[in-house]
Amino acid sequence: MFRLARFLKNYKIQSIFGPLFKLIEACFELAVPLIMADIIDTGIKNEDSSYILWRAGLLVLLGVLGLTCSLTAQYFAAKASVGFGKELRSALFKHINTLSYAEIDKLGSHTLVTRMTSDINQAQTGVNMVLRLFLRSPFIVLGSVIMAFTISVKLTLIFLIMSPALAFVIYKIMSATIPRFKKVQSTLDKANLQTSENLTGTRVVRAFSRQKDEQEEFEKNTEQLRIMQITAGRISAVMNPATYVLVNLSIAAILWFGGKSVDTGSITQGEVIALLNYMNQILLALLAVALLVTNITRMYACASRINEVFDVHTSVSDEGNTAVPEDKSAPRVEFRNVSFCYAGSGENTLDDITFAVQKGETVGIIGGTGAGKSSVINLIPRFYDATSGSVLVDGTDVKLYPFSQLRGKIGIVPQKAVLFKGTVRENMRWRDENATDEQIWNALEIAQAKDFILQKQGQLDYGILQQGKNLSGGQRQRLTIARALVGDPEILILDDSASALDLATDAALRRSIAEKTEGMTVFIVSQRISSIRSADKIIVLDDGRIAGMGTHMQLYKTCEVYKEICLSQLSEKEVAQHG
Amino acid sequence: MADNKQSPKKQGSKQALKMLAGYAKPYRALFVPTVLFALISVAATLYAPIVIGQAVDVIVTKGNVDFKALVPRIALLLSTVAITALCQWLMTLCTNKITYNVVRDLRNDAFSKLEKLPLSYIDSHPHGDIISRMITDVEAVSDGLLMGFAQLFTGLCTIIGTLIFMLTINVRITLVVVIITPLSLFVARFVSRNTYKLFHKQSVARGELTSLVEEMTGEQKTVSAFGYEQQAIEKFEQANKALSDVSVRAIFFSSLTNPTTRFVNGLVYTSVGIVGAFTAFSGGITIGQLSSFLTYANQYTKPFNEISGVITELQGALASAGRVFELMSEKQEVSDEGAKVITHFDGRVDASGVDFSYTPEKPLIKDFELHVRKGQRTAIVGPTGCGKTTMINLLMRFYDVDKGSISVSGENIRDLTRESLRSGYGMVLQETWLKTGTIRENIAYGKPDATDAEVVAAAKAAYCHGFIKRLPMGYDTVISDSYATLSAGQKQLLCIARVMLSVPEMLILDEATSSIDTRTEILVQNAFAKLMQGRTSFIIAHRLSTIKEADSIIVMKDGHIIEQGDHKSLIQKGGFYAQLYNSQFAVT
């Protein structure tokens, strides 16, 4: 938890002065009974009304000063805790941005979202509580113990025994509840995941009429959540009564031993009353602590969940890499004996892949489902690191590039057509922030998206909803293609990205890519022979290995796997005719 | 006038409070013990100082301490304390139980609402916002309730208890306390009204940030693929700043309650001192009585402090509750009540005179006619955005038509229950969706009581058995939508297996095999063909291999059918379809 304290760094003044003003206010408050004692002892005894009014004025003045201090303290606490939340959120967001695909697969994006949102909110609330109230309590406990010491050294022993006993009880209860609150949070995560899944899969859920079962599953989860919350609550509910009992045991002790001391004449009756008052003050302070403990334990649980994310470091880092000069004679992309295996999977997804692609070449990658086509593609922008062998771009191992340089060379169209909330223009500027409208229109034209964007209201200013929900699948796909083309990448990767396009659009797209992107190296991953048959080079993958490499006609004659794929899509006549 | 302005907000929170009370109603049996335990613990807490005072009274001076009287006082104190502690604990258990039960019910109802919302709502609202209502806001309700329940009641009891004790000492000074104290309530009310507004704003800003995080963190892979991290961070910082700006104000404002009411309490304390002192001049009160009066005055005002704190907390909870109830009062799908359950499908599907649009300003489908006989295989082709996917939304009744009617087996689908209508269809969509769970659960999604043998048979029919066997845990491997080791094609095959298992009367395939390699696709197609023997099917596809065999091909453009016929006749006709077909070979 204390590791997160670094996010208060920029709010040092607020986090120090906030509690400080709180302490000053507490001092004012502690002075009030003394002044009242003056009124009683001096004012009433002498029947001096002007003295009484004067003292009363002092009380009001103290009240105003206290209010001012307190407001300042609250403002500082709000400022510091919100600032803490803001910086923590921002740092976590930046940290998540450094993670590679492997870590995102492992953590799961849903978990990341909850940690970014509700966990940080809880932590922020916790910090606010601590700044506002937590420091005040120890101060009052300490102050009371000191005051007790001035009255009777012997009786202070009671204070000295009781304080650690209380601390122990609070510690015990906290350490029993923290793991339980952590479990509560992870169950809440599950509810979150299921909600989100039901939103994205609502069509499937309804098509199979499984709403009732989903509801049941959700209810099972919330029931589990309820039971865990009640168990955790049962333990933390002990806090209040336990402290109350301990303090009153001490009061009984003060009465007994105090009585003895008065009997021997070492202290007075009034001093016993004072001791009791201090003990009560400690009780009040501790009650505030107990109230806070639930929040603090939760904050602790959240903090460790947040730290868990901070502890995951990217396995694919570009740290220390500096810009790489381009080797003009080297192939654009080269794989040398590359093998690759996903974390947690026993088998290699790619086995000993070797090929080279020259500048300006178009490469088709074809193969069965699960043959490893996407895995090959994912290694080029270094989304994952090859398990063995090396991947080279422009003659340099991709591991030596800074990400911005490597990925700046590449325009990628992922399988899943993901767009973001914002205007078309904003979505098109993902690769190149400064792209002009002309460049964007150009890319849209190549991607066969110009026509439908022209028809949209506002054209480039047309607002796309989250996940591109106000566009059809084919429209989304064409926009993701255009997005990759903006800023003229040296390498264009189409990862099965024409699957939602009709044949005519697909053909027109390939034609315009071939015509208008001179010098661009293009990778086309596809299931369709028609999409890749005219490629300069076709790589046939079968179960993670290269089954054949060459042009359409060469492969058709020599590669059995390729021939089978061809004949599953076209008649023999068609294969030969359009070769 | 000013009051009028406030009233909608006030009404909103009143409404939320009323609905919350409705949720607490089933647990009213727990209120009795809660109240009982609270009363006992408050009474005992107030009694303890009296016992202590009596104990002090017997400790007078040197050699004048009555130990015989002291011992029973201490014993009484300890038993009072024991009772207080026990009752406090039991009371917390009760309030916990009420709170967590209410929160569970609230979440369950919200989720059930989710399943009943029309798709138009789900399609047009950011998921992050809906999730934040269901998770974060409900959490806020639980926190607010938890604090509120426990403190509001004990606070009220303490106030009444102390009031009685004070009245027994001096009526005039009690009146001073009673008259000034409401000032703190007034201040608290002013603060909380503003707090509610600010908390609401904070909720909105938080919802926006959550949406952004859902988008950017949820699609982190795309973000890093484009090196978009910097811009994502910039956008995030903006939303983050907006949230923290409103948060500082909301939190500060909500924390005003405590200091301001404490200030009012200080005034009360001082007033008691002055009035008490002047009363003491005339001998109306002894000094000892005045000092205990001051103690009680403190005790009387302390709960006011707590209560106003609780009220602030409740305001936050109510603002959140308001957002939850807003979701819950969203218009839901037209009820199925009174609708017929269709059990037998004869395979006929007819659409006549159908008009449909997502937004009234942009008509999409106009005067759509379609008549399909039993066992017919209908392919729908056309350029993207021509309304093919919309057809599925209408056939499955995810959306209702604006005009005209769609009927199945001669029955208007509006007259049938959605469940029975949908049970007649098997659907495979282009966008694969898998649930977090084992492969087995996913395949058996449409038929949860399927035997293992049935699951394996379906997996074999959809050609997934092979790769499932190779997964670390076989059919028990836990997968999710973002499970990286499965390729898009493999996920699609699993979705096909899901349909294969439930053996529907009619089949809708929307680009169902788009990510599957064609060798496997042919095998899957054959399996489908066998499955669909004598059954009606609708196929949306781009691949000719899929379309060519259809009995009837519908060519759509801009929401209309422009051509209809089988492959041969359409090619001969040389129209739009022929053009589409030939284009696939028109490669440079």
- Mean pLDDT over A543-568 rounds to 80
**Within the 129-158 window of chain B, which residues sit less than 8 Å (CB to CB) from chain A?**
130-132, 134-136, 139
Residues B324 and B237 in one domain: yes
Q: A50-64, A456-470, B573-587 — which is least confidently predicted?
A: B573-587
What are the φ/ψ torsions at residue A382 (nearest 5 degrees)?
60, 45
> Which residue did the predictor score with more confidence, A414 or B586?
A414
Cβ–Cβ below 8 Å for A474 and B384: yes
pLDDT score, position B82 = 92
CA distances from B144 to A282, B99, B118, B275, B319 (A): 27, 9, 31, 39, 10
Return the bridge partners of B427, or none.
B508
Average pLDDT, chain B: 79
Per-residue pLDDT tens for A220-264?
888 988 898 888 888 888 888 888 888 888 888 888 888 888 888
Q: What is the DSSP string of B136-155?
A: IIHHHHHHHHHHHHHHHHHH
Structural domain containing residue B294? 124-148+170-331
* CA nearest to B488, candidates B528, B516, B454: B516
Q: Report pLDDT digits (tens) over B95-139.
A: 888 888 888 888 888 888 888 888 888 877 877 788 888 888 888
pLDDT in the model for residue A56 = 84
Contact B251, A124 (CB under 8 A): no
Class of domain A333-577: alpha beta
φ, ψ of residue A449 in degrees (nearest 5): -110, -5
Q: Which of B290, B298, B334 is nearest to B118 (CA)?
A: B334
Residue B556 touches chain A, beta carbons under 8 Å: no
Contacts of A64 in chain B (CB under 8 A): 263
Contacts of B100 in chain A (CB under 8 A): 225-226, 229-230, 233
Residue at B6 is within a domain? no
A394/chain B closest Cα distance in angstroms: 19
- The residue type of A242 is A
Q: Is the pLDDT of residue A566 over 80?
A: no
Question: How do beta strands B403-408 and B411-412 pair?
Answer: antiparallel
Contacts of B562 (CB under 8 A, 6+ apart): B555, B556, B575, B576
For B241, name the nearest residue in chain A, comparing CA atoms only: A86
pLDDT of residue A124: 86
How far apart are the C-alpha atoms of A9 and B29, rounded to whole Å?
A: 50
Residue B586 corresponds to which amino acid? A
**Are B359 and B478 contained in the same domain?**
yes
Q: Say how far apart CA A158 and CA A253 lie, in whole Å.
A: 7
- Check CB contact of A244 with chain B, cutoff 8 Å: yes
CA atoms within 13 A on the CB side of A558: 12
List B507's β-bridge partners, or say none: B426, B537
Query: What CA–CA distance (Å, rounded) separates B484 from B181?
Result: 64
What pLDDT digit, counting tens, does each position of A142-187 carry? 777 877 787 778 888 888 888 788 878 878 887 888 788 778 888 8
Contact B59 A255 (CB under 8 A): yes
Q: For Cα atoms B512, A193, A496, give the angle at the middle one, nearest 5 degrees.
A: 30
Asked if residue B355 and residue B301 are part of one domain, the reply reads no
- Domain boundaries of chain A, sorted by first residue: 1-134, 137-315, 333-577
Strands (E), A125-203: none
Least confident span in A92-96, B206-210, B480-484, B494-498: B480-484
Which of B88, B280, B498 minimises the CB distance to A240? Answer: B88
Residue B567: CATH number of its domain: 3.40.50.300
For residues A407-432, give the mean pLDDT: 80
In this prediction, residue A575 has a pLDDT band, given cuts at 50, 70 and 90, of low
Amino acid making up residue B554: I
The domain defined by A1-134 folds into: ABC transporter transmembrane region fold (1.20.1560)
A373 contact residues in B (CB cutoff 8 A): 487
* Interface contacts A/B by beta carbons within 8 Å: 509
pTM: 0.67
Q: What whole-number distance in Å separates Cα of residue A317 and Cα of residue A319?
A: 6
Chain segment B37-48, per-residue pLDDT in tens? 888 988 888 787
Rounded Cα–Cα distance for residues B314 and B147 (Å): 8
- The type of residue at A25 is E
| Same domain, yes or no: B111 and B137 | no
Which residues in chain B (485-524) have CB-CB distances under 8 A to chain A? 485-490, 492-493, 495, 498, 502, 511, 514-522
Spatial distance between the Cα atoms of A502 and B522, rounded to a whole number of angstroms = 19
Per CATH, the homologous superfamily of domain A137-315 is ABC transporter type 1, transmembrane domain (1.20.1560.10)
Residues in chain A: 579
Mean pLDDT in residue range B66-71: 82
User: Does residue B111 share a domain with residue B132?
Assistant: no
Within its chain, how far is the Cα of B202 from the centroid? 17
Same domain, B130 and B109: no
Find the DSSP H helices in B515-575. 518-532, 544-547, 567-573
Question: B227 by DSSP, 3-state: which?
Answer: coil
Query: Which CA distances in Å does A358 have to A138, A244, A331, A380, A491?
Result: 71, 80, 5, 14, 11
Tell me which of A206, A384, A465, A533 to substitute to probe the interface with B (most B C-beta atoms closer than 10 Å).
Answer: A206
Using CA atoms, how far apart are residues B191 and B196, in angstroms rounded to an integer?
Answer: 9
Q: In sequence order, which residues have a C-beta less than 8 Å from that of residue A393 and are 6 or more positions away?
A: A332, A333, A334, A380, A401, A406, A409, A491
CA distance B1 to chain A (A): 31
Token pair 């024991």: residue: B82
Residues of B in contact with A86 (CB under 8 A): 240-241, 243-244
- Determine contact: A515 vs chain B, CB below 8 A: yes
Q: How confident is the model at residue B586 (pLDDT cuts 50, 70, 90)?
A: very low
Q: Number of helices (H) and strands (E), helices first, in chain B? A: 22, 14
Q: Is the Cβ pair A370, B226 closer than 8 Å?
A: no
Residues B460 and B358 in one domain: yes
CATH of the domain at B288: 1.20.1560.10
- What is the pLDDT at residue B12? 67
pLDDT classification of B79: cutoffs 50, 70, 90: very high
> Would you say residue B163 lies in a domain?
no
ipTM, two decimals? 0.74
Shortest Cα distance from B220 to chain A (angstroms)?
A: 7
Residues B192 and B274 in one domain: yes
One DSSP character per residue, A544-560 reads TEEEEEE-HHHHHHH-H
Residues facing residue B407 across a β-bridge: B350, B412
B196 and B90 in one domain? no
For residue B581, give both structure tokens.
């077909």
The verdict on a CB contact (< 8 Å) between B240 and A89 is yes
Which of chain A's residues have a Cβ under 8 Å away from the Cβ of B382? 502
Give the least confident one: A80-94, A113-127, B177-191: B177-191
Element (H, E) at B403: strand B403-408
Provide the 10 A C-beta neighbour count for residue A2: 6
Cα Rg of chain B, angstroms: 35
Question: What is the 8-class DSSP label of residue B373?
Answer: -
Of B221, B481, B522, the CB nearest to A197: B481
Considering the domain architecture, whether residues B513 and B414 belong to the same structural domain is answered as yes
Whether chain B has a CB inside 8 Å of the CB on A74: the answer is yes
Of A74, A368, A452, the CB nearest to B519: A368
How do residues B350-394 score in pLDDT, each as one tens digit?
888 888 888 777 777 778 788 888 888 888 887 766 677 788 888
Q: What is the pLDDT of residue A382?
A: 84
- Residue A34 pLDDT level (bands cut at 50, 70, 90): low
Residue A216 contacts by C-beta under 8 Å, 6 or more apart in sequence? Answer: none
- Of the segments B51-55, B283-287, B294-298, which one has the largest average pLDDT value? B51-55
Q: Check if A1-134 and A333-577 are the same fold.
A: no
Buried b (16+ CB within 10 A) or exposed e, B126-164: bbbbbbbbbbbbbbbbbbbbbbbbbbbbbbebbbebbee
User: pLDDT of B169-225, one tens digit each?
Assistant: 778 888 887 887 777 777 777 777 777 788 888 888 888 888 888 777 777 777 777
Residues A443-447 have a mean pLDDT of: 83
Which residues touch B136 (CB under 8 Å, ≥6 apart)? A117, A118, A121, B206, B210, B320
Q: What is the distance, to the nearest Å, from the Cα of residue A474 to the centroid of all Cα atoms in its chain?
A: 31
Domain contains B160: no
Do B54 and B186 belong together in one domain?
no
Residues with Cβ within 8 Å of B438's Cβ and at least 6 positions away in sequence, in order, are: B473, B475, B476, B477, B478, B479
A52, A208, A412: residue with CB nearest B225? A412
- Structurally, chain B folds into a number of domains equal to 3
Q: How many CB atoms lie within 10 A of CB B14?
A: 12
Answer whether residue B9 is part of any domain: no
State how far the Cα of B374 lies from the Cα of B192, in Å rounded to an integer. 66
CB atoms B227 and A214 under 8 Å = no
A456-464 average pLDDT score? 80
- Are residues B243 and B300 both part of a single domain? yes
A215 vs A503, which has greater pLDDT? A215
Per the CB < 8 A criterion, the answer to whether A523 and A365 are in contact is yes
State yes or no: pLDDT of B431 exceeds 50: yes
Q: What is the CA radius of gyration of chain A?
A: 35
Residue B588 lies in a domain: no
End-to-end CA separation in angstroms for chain B: 75
Q: Tell me if A241 sits within 8 A of B81, measured CB to CB.
A: no
Cβ–Cβ below 8 Å for B217 and A466: no
Contact A449, A478 (CB under 8 A): yes
If one compares B557 and B587, the residue with the highest pLDDT of the two is B557
Chain B, 353-382: which have a CB under 8 Å from a chain A CB? 381-382
What is the reported pLDDT for A33? 67
**What single-letter DSSP state applies at residue B482?**
T
Reported as a pLDDT band with limits 50, 70 and 90, residue A32 is confident
Mark yes or no for CB contact B385/A452 under 8 Å.
yes
| Angstrom distance (rounded) from CA A510 to CA A489 | 16
The answer as to whether B531 is a domain residue is yes
Mean pLDDT over residues B413-441, rounded? 82
Asked if the structure places residue B23 within a domain, the reply is yes
Distance (Å, rounded) from C-alpha B222 to C-alpha A133? 44
3-state secondary structure of A363: strand
pLDDT of residue A399: 82
Tokens coding B267: 């005034």
- Find residues 255-284 of chain B whose CB sits inside 8 Å of chain A: 255-256, 258-260, 262-263, 266-267, 269-270, 273-274, 277-278, 280-281
Q: Domain for residue B162, yes or no? A: no
**B227 to A431: CB separation less than 8 angstroms, yes or no:** yes
Per the CB < 8 A criterion, the answer to whether A465 and A413 are in contact is no
Identity (one letter) of the amino acid at A422?
Answer: G
Residue B86 is predicted with a pLDDT of 93
